[in-house]
Amino acid sequence: MKKFQVTVNGNTYEVDVEEITNGSVVPVAVNQPVQYNTAPAQKPATPLAASPTEGTPIEAPMQGKIVGLKVTQNQKVQEGDVIAVLEAMKMENEIVASATGTIVAVHVAIGQSVDAGDLIATLN
């Protein structure tokens, strides 16, 4: 048997797998233990094209995980348009544009954890 780590819908499971060839079980040698990557995800660097001071910052109102991005750089948005979806306490919260303008930069990626006040996007 061989052990594998499988992630399904964000939940991680450890599974044992047996190889079957022509209807008979073939033993599988396991030489090394399974190693898990427990390092936290790295935040992407702020894009060089825009600094946080070159527009209106759109910040995370609370700690959570980015589960959706609804805009891209240079996209025009109206006040109230959804910029990103932030999951916090098992609820999805829509982060919206505070004004009409153009997205200068997106500073987060899907799956990234953010703290309250972290920059999500810059609006010009």
CATH number of the domain to which 76 belongs: 2.40.50.100
Give per-residue pLDDT as tens, 4-59.
787 777 777 787 877 776 766 656 555 545 455 555 555 555 444 444 557 899 99
Closest CA relative to residue 35, chosen from 18, 14, 56 = 14
Residue spans of beta strands (DSSP E) within 18-114: 19-21, 24-26, 56-59, 64-69, 76-77, 82-88, 91-96, 101-106, 113-114
Please tell me the total count of domains within the chain: 1
Whether this model's pTM surpasses 0.95: no
Whether residue 74 lies inside any domain: the answer is yes
Q: What b/e string do you get for 31-63 counting C-beta neighbours within 10 Å, with b at 16 or more?
A: eeeeeeeeeeeeeeeeeeebeeeebebbbbeee
Whether residue 34 lies inside any domain: the answer is no
Structural domain boundaries enclosing 74: 56-123
